[in-house]
Amino acid sequence: MRETVHFSLASHDEVMYRDEADLIHGFNCLVEACLETESRLLADGFMTTHHHGLVQTDNIKALTKIQRYAYTRFFNARHCRRGSIGEVRPFTLSIEGLYHTIVALNYVNRQGLHHGLSDSAFGYPFCSANACFMSKLGKISPERLMPDELRYLYLPDRSSVPKSIRMDASGMLLQEDAIDTAYVEQIYLTPRNYLYQMNKLTDENWVKQQESDQTKSPIITLDLIETGVGDINVEQLLRNEHGTLNTNQLTDLALCKIIDTEYLPGISHGSVRSIYELSTAQRRSLCETLWKDIPRIYKKSTTVAQLRRCACLNY
């Protein structure tokens, strides 16, 4: 019997997704895993260091194993890396009750907002906020789709994803096709309520509503959802709900792009293809150089922790 489960998989020492191509393939692997386990995908949110999913499944262990294995193969081949990526055991949480489910959906869909990557839930492309109530909210599917004969390039090996789940020109499966939007829309009832839920601030009413469910599920909070993610400042995540972006600090994607396209080509006369081909000493030296160059050349700020994970210094 299917149960509703939230899960998250994180990597504390390095970024799991270095660019948009990685994020796209990560989502496609999740869709494939849901199909193989006959699970229903309700929501997803992909960050550079972790991702969240909300599914209805009777085998969450198999689902997360299939996704992680498929993505690890892709990431390692693309970035000249070895070994598994992310935690062996993802954080999972069974969810019961209407309001528990709504809060879990809200938090997963608002990942971009909470992590300061967009000023609304709808501004971040690698979460499922835009998949529901599309026609009623005036959203349209992309006109350009990936030709059928090229879909295999963006899917896991021996993929079973049917053509009814369309793929956009970037290679990403359409979230509105992959997610059980009909079920999610029944939970929110109206597009007006959906917009309200995506924009309202977290407060004590979220707790009171969940208590009315009278289930054994724990109260869903932001810090519970982010369990296992790592060094997360929940107070900052809650402040980010106001939609005020810090544009002075580089995002992980921007920093990885600087490393991979501007600094790596100059190392060993361009013979280095990936950050993973550098020695620990070379990565440490690169971090020291970037620490000086980021504010001077790019007029942005960074942190030691961000430099270490984007340069895979702890790998």
Tell me the pLDDT tens digit for each residue of 183-214: 999 999 999 999 999 999 999 999 999 999 99
- pLDDT tens for each residue of 271-296: 888 999 999 999 999 999 999 999 99
Residues 257 and 236 in one domain: no
Contacts of 138 (CB under 8 A, 6+ apart): none
Phi, psi dihedral angles at 72 (to 5 degrees): -60, -45
Residues 138 and 20 in one domain: yes
Residue 168 has pLDDT above 80, yes or no: yes
Q: Given 185, 207, 240, which residue is the final one in a domain?
A: 240
Domain of 306? 252-310
CA atoms within 13 A on the CB side of 221: 14
Residues 47 and 186 in one domain: yes
Q: What is the pTM of this model?
A: 0.95
Residues 107 and 44 in one domain: yes
Residue 229 has pLDDT above 90, yes or no: no
Residue 102 included in any domain: yes
| Cβ proximity of 18 and 256 under 8 Å | yes
Residue 157 has pLDDT above 90, yes or no: no
Residue 247 included in any domain: no
Residue 315 included in any domain: no
Residues 256 and 177 in one domain: no
**Average per-residue pLDDT for the chain:** 94
Q: Given 205, 240, 275, which residue is the final one in a domain?
A: 240
Residues 267 and 135 in one domain: no
Q: What percent of the chain has pLDDT over 90?
A: 85
Residues 74 and 173 in one domain: yes
Which of 83-87, 114-118, 172-176 is least confident? 83-87
> Could you give the strand order of the β-sheet that contains 50-57, starting from the edge strand earlier in sequence?
40-46, 50-57, 3-10, 91-95
Residue 270 has pLDDT above 80, yes or no: no
Which of 51-55, 117-121, 154-158 is least confident? 154-158
Q: How far apart are CA 246 and CA 214, in angstroms?
A: 39
Q: What percent of the chain has pLDDT over 70?
A: 100
- How many domains in the chain? 2
Residues 90 and 210 in one domain: yes
